[in-house]
Structure 1
């Protein structure tokens, strides 16, 4: 009888210990990643040198998790004020949140086609949880010249054709949402694509303002790390100690 109780107690303790320490084995899925930046310019205008600027104020879940810059200027292409970004991962839940906000955005490149283009604030946000990945964009005080005002929360992948006369020379994409092959989602609040190769083209390349990428979510916190370790040890104690006391009590009676 004594041997039977001791064997049972040992088996239960081993099972609970194996559960508690299971997190010590590396997970098969990589932790959830997130990133964000405020401005990225990569264009080649006709008759001019290539212009590359950014990504500015880049943030990443692996660090730095937040970033900022006071202004951005690509002469004749883009102007912007303060940029703030963040990308954080909650190791307990595996959730990822990334955000980029850019103030006082101007696009002088489009003046010939649309007139003065200005937006007081451009923000992209994405979140990844165990339920899935989602994103959104907000444009505060957006005035796109001849296009006029736009919705402050445009539908995903809203496209505005930019023309010089009858020729489309660019496409302005608002709240661009790209589902990547690795399961992550990229949200570009504003993406200007120059259509090179057409008659009357301004040039070729891309201007992106406020971009956030995140997901898929990481697995929740492994049981054997941080608070999970103490939970597992608590369960182990709750099972093993009563069994040990029972065995000792029976032995003393005998």
Structure 2
């Protein structure tokens, strides 16, 4: 009977210790991820070879967390200046920030329709915290010709139609495109040009051009170790169960010694 009690006490002490260890395990495997790039092109212009290039200056929370590129030069499609990107996370809070900045952008494939299609700076930002995931776009010195004035901080998913006389819409320019992904992350494309050439007579081509893209979230902070009430409850169980078992063993041994002496 005494042996049974001793084993029972030892098992309960082990379970209590396990409670502390389980409390120390992180609630999530790792924080959220993030990524960014400066430009990506996948178009088929009429009478020309397909152009597929990028993503340029790709960065991610898995590394490299920062990247840069001297400039893109795809004749008849896109020309840019310096690109800078970053995607970082705070392992303590799980917060993620992804950003892509592209300078001196010329969307040359739209110049025939718009006369002007340039932006001095195109920036996309995505941030994920415990409050949620959000994104924004900033355009500095935007001149899109016939499309008129463009806000420096366009609303999410602002769509502008690019038209040719006698043809109609040949492209859609989406500013501050925000895409909510199935995994809970958010993708922000500062400028997304979609050519509507499939089956359209007079179109200039088909495909997509994205300038400055950032993806992040959701935030998922680790719990580095047990703390607060959970820690003290676990330690209390160890003290309440493990200590009496130890005292019993000591008393039992002393009793055995006394009997032997007798």
> TM exceeds 0.5?
yes
Q: Deviations over 1:4-47 (max 9, x none)?
A: xxx99x968964663344454784x6641111000000000001
Pairing 1:195–2:196 present: yes
Distance, in Å, in 2 between the alignment partners of 1:157 and 1:25 is 37
SS class of match (2:218): coil
Distance, in Å, in 2 between the alignment partners of 1:238 and 1:30 is 27
| 1:236 Cα offset (Å) | 8.9
2:211 maps to which of 209, 212, 224: 209
Change (3 A) 1:201 1:30: farther
Q: Partner of 2:76 in structure 1? A: 76
Q: Partner of 1:113 in structure 2? A: 113
Q: Is the contact made by 2:124 and 2:189 (CA closer than 8 Å) also made in structure 1?
A: yes
Give the alignment's TM-score, normalised by structure 1: 0.81
Q: Partner of 2:138 in structure 1? A: 138
Aligned residues: 244
Q: Is the contact made by 2:85 and 2:99 (CA closer than 8 Å) also made in structure 1?
A: yes
Whose radius of gyration is greater, 1 or 2?
Answer: 2
Q: Partner of 2:225 in structure 1? A: 228
SS class of match (1:113): helix
Distance, in Å, in 1 between the alignment partners of 2:102 and 2:232 is 49
Q: Deviations over 1:184-229 (max 9, x none)?
A: 11000000000012111110000000000111112x223xxxx537
Q: Is the contact made by 1:16 and 1:236 (CA closer than 8 Å) also made in structure 2?
A: no
* Root mean square deviation, CA, Å: 3.5
| 1:238 Cα offset (Å) | 7.8
SS class of match (2:55): coil
Distance, in Å, in 1 between the alignment partners of 2:47 and 2:109 is 14
